[in-house]
Amino acid sequence: MILVLGIGGTFQIGFQISTITYMSQAFINETWLERYGYPIQQDNLLFLWSLTVSIFGIGGLLGSSGSRYLTVKFGKKKCLLCNNVLMIVAASIMGFSKISQSFEMILIGRFMCGLSAGVCVPLHHQYVGEISPKKIRGFANSTSSFFWTLGKAIGQISGQRELLGSQALWPVLMASCGLPALVQLLTLPFFPESPPYLLMHKGDQEGCKKAIRQLWGEGQHQAEIDDIMKEKAAMKNTKILSVLELVKEPAFRWQLYMIIILTATIQLCGINIYLYTFEVLQAAGFDERMASYMTLSIGLSELVAAVSSIIERLGRKVLLRGGYWIMASLLAAITVTLTLQVRKFCSQQAALPILNNSCPFLSGGATVSTRVEIFTLSCRPPAFVISSVLNWLGVFVIGITFPFIVERLKHFCFLIFMVVLFTSGMIIHLFLPETKGKSIMEITEEFNKLNFKSKSIPATSNHVIEDYTFCTSTEL
C-alpha cells in the first residue's frame, strides 16, 4: 500500500513539477504570434511563463487549506480517489493545449495540478503514517521524500530532448503526469480505509480490526487498537488552538518563530529554482545541451540524497545548521567561479550546482522532524496550517519573480539565497534547541527560557489539559 500511495502521491507531484518544460515558453510565443500577428514582448512573455509555473503554488495553497475538512468528512481513501480524477483531467487539458493552440489550457492545467497536489501531499503523509505498524512507521514516513525525488528524476529523464522533451512530444510529456494518478485510481479501491479513521471518526471497531488484519496480516493487534483509542481520548481532553490563538500565545512565540524560519528558508534557499533550473544554468553560461544534462544530474543527486538518512546520527540542529552553511558556501563558490569565468574550472562549476541542490534533501528530514517535535499536540494543527500557507505562498512568489531576478542579476541571483542561508543557519545555531532524543516537555522547557526569559515560567499553559506523544492525523 505504501507503494500505491507513493506512486499516486508524492511521486506524481514530483513528476508533474519536473515536466514543466521550457518548450512551453516557446509555445506561448508561437501562439501569441499566430493570434495577433506580432511577437509578444519579452517582459510579457516572462510574466506569462512565470505565472504558468507559479500558479501551481496557488492551487496548492487552496488544496491544502481544504484537505483537513475533506479528510474528516469523506475519509482519506475517497479523497485520494477523487483527487486522482482531478489530476487526470488536469493532465488531459495540458496534453491537448498544443492541438487547441491555447497556452491558457496549460495555465488552467497547472492550477488544477496544484490544487490536486495541495490535497494529495498531506493525505499521503497521513495515510502512510496511519496504516503502518510501529516498527516500520519511521521508515514508512520517510518514503514520501524518496517518491518525491524519484518522480522528479524520472520526469527529468523523460523530459530530455532524446525522449519526450522535443518540440513535437512535449505535450505528451506534460500529459503523462496523469499516468501515476491512473495507477492509484485503479489499485487503491482494493485497499482498506485508514484504521484510525474507521475507529476515531466512524466508530467502526470491527472495520478497524478488519483493515488492520488486511494490512498487517493475522495476529494479535489489540495493543495497536488500544493506542488508537488512547489517541482518541487525548484529542477529547486537549483543546486545539486556532491559528489566531497560537499567534497570540506567548508560551509558543519562539516555536512559531522557528517554524516560520524553517519554512521560509526551504523556499528561499534556492531549492525551488528547480522550476527554472534550465534557465538558471543557461544564464550562468552553460550551453543548452549541457544545461539539459546538468538539470538531470541535479535531479539524480537529489534522489541519492533522499535515500541517505543521517538524521538520527547527527541530530536535527547540527544537520540544519551545517546544511544551510554548506549550501551558502557552495553558492558563494558558484558566484565567484562564474564571475571570474575560469575555464579550467569548468568541471567544478558543473559540480557545484549539483552539490548545492543535494544538500536541502540531506537536511529535509531534520526540517520535518523539528517542525513536529517543537510543538505540543494542541498546537500542531494551527502550526502546520501556518507552515503550509507559507510554503505554498513561497512556491508562488518565487515562481513568479525568479525569472525576472535571473534576467536582471544573471548568476549573481545566487547571492540572495546565500544571505538567507547564512542568516538562517546563525539563528538556528543561537536559538534552536536540539530535539534529538528529548521529550516534548524537555523541548518546551528549553523554549520557555526564550519565551519568558526573566519572567516566571508557568508550569503548564492554560489551554492544555493533558499532552501526549502519540502521532496524530493532524501532523501534515
pLDDT (tens digit, 0 to 9) for every residue of the chain, 476 residues total? 888 988 888 888 888 777 765 667 788 888 888 888 888 888 888 888 888 888 888 888 888 877 777 877 788 888 899 999 999 999 999 999 989 989 899 999 999 999 998 888 778 877 887 787 767 765 676 677 778 878 887 887 887 777 887 778 888 888 898 999 999 999 999 998 888 778 777 777 888 888 888 888 877 767 777 777 776 666 666 666 777 888 888 888 888 998 888 888 877 776 655 555 555 555 555 555 665 555 555 555 555 555 545 544 566 788 788 878 888 887 787 777 767 654 444 444 444 444 445 455 555 556 766 776 787 756 766 777 787 778 878 777 777 777 777 777 776 777 888 888 899 889 988 888 887 767 677 888 888 888 887 555 554 444 443 343 333 333 33
Question: Residues 354, 470: one domain?
Answer: yes
Q: Which three cell numbers stand for residue 349?
A: 562549476
Instruction: Report if residue 186 sits inside a domain.
Output: yes
The CATH number of residue 15's host domain is 1.20.1250.20
Q: Within this chain, do residues 177 and 247 fall inside the same structural domain, yes or no? A: no
Same domain, yes or no: 272 and 395: yes
Residues 1 and 129 in one domain: yes
- Amino acid 16: pLDDT: 79
- 243 and 147 housed in the same domain: no
Residue 115 included in any domain: yes
Is 199 part of any domain? Answer: no
Q: Are 244 and 181 in the same domain?
A: no
**If you ran DSSP here, which 8-state letter would residue 412 be given?**
G
Residues 350 and 45: their CA atoms lie apart, in Å, by: 28
Q: Is residue 126 part of a domain?
A: yes
Residue 222 lies in a domain: no
Q: Which of 124, 156, 191 delimits the end of a domain?
A: 191
Instruction: For residue 315, tell me if it sits in a domain.
Output: yes
| Domain coverage including residue 430 | 239-476
- Asked if the structure places residue 216 within a domain, the reply is no
Q: Tell me whether residue 197 is in a domain.
A: no
- Residue keyed to cell 506524481: 12
Residue 122 burial (C-beta neighbours within 10 Å; 0-12, 13-18, 19+): buried
Q: Mark whether 177 and 309 lie in a shared domain.
A: no
How many structural domains compose the chain? 2
Residues 159 and 254 in one domain: no
Question: In terms of domains, do 351 and 474 share one?
Answer: yes
Give the angle 258-259-263 at the CA atoms, nearest 5°: 120
Shared domain for 157 and 256, answered yes or no, is no
pLDDT score recorded for residue 310: 52
The C-alpha cell at 208 is: 478497524
Q: What is the pLDDT of residue 343?
A: 41
Same domain, 170 and 249: no
Final residue belonging to a domain, choices 166, 191, 216: 191
Question: Do both 311 and 413 map to the same domain?
Answer: yes
